[in-house]
Amino acid sequence: MLVALALLVAGRLAAQQDFAPEEATISATHAAFAAGKTTCVELVRAYLNRIEAYDHRGAALNAIITINPKALETAAEMDRLAAADKLRSPLHCIPVILKDNYDTADMPTTGGSLTLAESVPLRDAFVVKKLREAGALILAKANLMELARGGTTVSSLGGQTRNPYDLSRTPGGSSGGTGAAIAASFAIAGTGSDTGQSVRSPASAQSLVGLRPTRGLISRSGIIPLSTTQDEAGPITRTVEDTARMLDIMAGYDADDPITAFSVQKIPKTYTAFLDRDGLKGARIGVLMDFFGSETVHQQVNAVTETAIRAMTEAGATMIRIKIPNLEDLTRDIQVPHYESKIAFNNYLARLGARAPVKSLGEFIARGEFHRLLRQELEADQQVVDGLNDSEYKNRLLRRNILRQAVMTVMAENKLDAILYPHQRRLVVPIGEDQVDRNGVLSNGTGFPAIAFPGGFSAPTNSAPAGVPVGIELLGPDWSEPVLIKLAYAFEQAAKIRRPPPSTPPLPR
């Protein structure tokens, strides 16, 4: 009997050694569950151990604000239901890390702000509810650029998050906490929000996949808002396949976010149907030369992007060098958050009801419990009296439509499936500097979808022994997520760029 028990334990340990939580995907994790190589509790414990080892110690990424105190308890219940064959869900026990501007009824939603440190909403955000219903396990909430207002991921509550590929650099922003956490394998998948480029920036900076969807594809209700026009929610993952699987769950109509009505009948049965290894064959992709830098500081990104372009050509794509006439003028003065943010934030606080720690943006500013970098922008937004009726606001909305037309005209004239460019013209900046030379405007200024994915790495240095990641971005017309996923997946499978950061190696097992 003892020998049999010993053999059973030894067999179990050997099986566990076949599955590694680092770089794990959704499908590989589910296969490991089915094969008995791991359990939900073992998986969650492995990620909690990595957070313990690398978030405030070791590499000290400082990516996590809150860990779900019931994570292991929830995992045990998922194991119990799975053993009883009562749990069949597309994200069964997939640990997910949320950007901490997504409402969660069981944990604070802080926006990275000391003022909101103990703000627990009445209910989950719509997307969070959908993720939980699909079986996802919300493992933690991640740091962000406070209130998602910027690109370097520093906040009064969470401090400065560091890039696991180069600890002297930012992780991008504003969803940089999620990005650092997923890059370092603190979980399998994460969520971000993108007003300017805040899903795609951390993806670009940390060899990840980040999707900003078509306006209206994913609900924003229950996410601390910055702009009702420009805000989007999206997944951040290590692979294109996992982005497709997350998008399957996150997309959909929500009555509390009326713009999602436009997504009805636009969503395929599954985005995984477009994971085609040969997806670049016959594709026509425009290379937007306007979005390449010409100075010495831009050369490493240019070199990586050109290598990616050659790889796409070898995989069967026709790459066409294009320019959009007057693009610099078309993208100037089209940002609208300044006119919308006070109204949107005040409405969010009102929905918190009696739980709201402050009742308005004015009270938030008066508290003074926010990062100093936000003061000028917050005070400027507070001075807006009637932003939605401001003549400049209305002019900017018109200019956004002109940009949409210009993009679609170039795509039509060149018969393009998508437009390609580097997400950031130079490497992600060192901590303490402002994020510059990002190309997010073509998506945030039009509402068109864009996907950022690993394009390559810069040359290794002492602070970045594997090099600094460089992200490529593909943009298409409304509802072209299937095409973007197909093209990005085909490149990913052909080029196999992604590699984990050296600062957060596997833990002993």
Domain count for the chain, please give it: 1
Residue 438 DSSP symbol: B
d(CA 24, CA 36): 16
Share of the chain above pLDDT 90, in %: 95
d(CA 358, CA 356): 5
Q: Would residue 14 count as lying in a domain? A: no
Beta bridge partners of 287: 321, 420
Is there a contact between 334 and 485 (Cβ–Cβ < 8 Å)?
no
Residue 3 has pLDDT above 80, yes or no: no
Q: Would residue 103 count as lying in a domain? A: yes
Q: Would residue 3 count as lying in a domain? A: no
pLDDT in tens, 279-292: 999 999 999 999 99
Q: Which of 156, 185, 198, 458 is catalytic?
A: 198
Is there a contact between 425 and 194 (Cβ–Cβ < 8 Å)?
no
- Catalytic status, residue 281: no
Is there a contact between 504 and 239 (Cβ–Cβ < 8 Å)?
no
Q: Would residue 176 count as lying in a domain? A: yes
Distances (CA, A) of 470 to 206, 454, 497: 8, 6, 10
Between β-strands 469-475 and 450-457, what pairing exists: parallel, antiparallel or unpaired?
antiparallel
- Catalytic status, residue 99: yes
pLDDT in tens, 31-67: 999 999 999 999 999 999 999 999 999 999 999 999 9
CB atoms inside a 10 Å sphere around CB 340: 21
pLDDT in tens, 103-145: 999 999 999 999 999 999 999 999 999 999 999 999 999 999 9
pLDDT in tens, 296-309: 999 999 999 999 99
Per-residue confidence band for 12, with pLDDT thresholds at 50, 70 and 90: very low
User: What are the E-state strand segments in 164-259?
Assistant: 189-193, 209-212, 233-237
Q: Where residue 455 sits, what CATH number does that domain have?
A: 3.90.1300.10
Summary mean pLDDT of the chain: 96
pLDDT in tens, 317-340: 999 999 999 999 999 999 999 999
Residue 7 has pLDDT above 90, yes or no: no
The token pair at 108 is: 């604070």
Output the pLDDT for position 8: 42
Residue 160 DSSP symbol: E
Please give the average per-residue pLDDT across 218-246, as a whole number: 98
Beta bridge partners of 450: 212, 475
The token pair at 81 is: 């239901």
Residue ranges in 319-359 assigned as alpha helix (H) = 327-330, 337-352
pLDDT in tens, 423-445: 999 999 999 999 999 999 999 99
Residue 166 DSSP symbol: B
Output the pLDDT for position 87: 63
Q: Would residue 392 count as lying in a domain? A: yes
Output the pLDDT for position 118: 97
Per-residue confidence band for 10, with pLDDT thresholds at 50, 70 and 90: very low
d(CA 479, CA 213): 8
Residue 9 has pLDDT above 60, yes or no: no
Is there a contact between 268 and 300 (Cβ–Cβ < 8 Å)?
no
Residues in the chain: 509
Determine the structural domain holding residue 256 and report its residue range: 19-495
Residues 6+ apart with CB under 8 A from 438: 151, 196, 197, 201, 423, 424, 425
pLDDT in tens, 344-383: 999 999 999 999 999 999 999 999 999 999 999 999 999 9
Residue 187 has pLDDT above 90, yes or no: yes
- Catalytic status, residue 185: no
Q: Which of 119, 156, 174, 263 is catalytic?
A: 174
Output the pLDDT for position 17: 58
At 451, which amino acid appears? I
pLDDT in tens, 202-228: 999 999 999 999 999 999 999 999 999
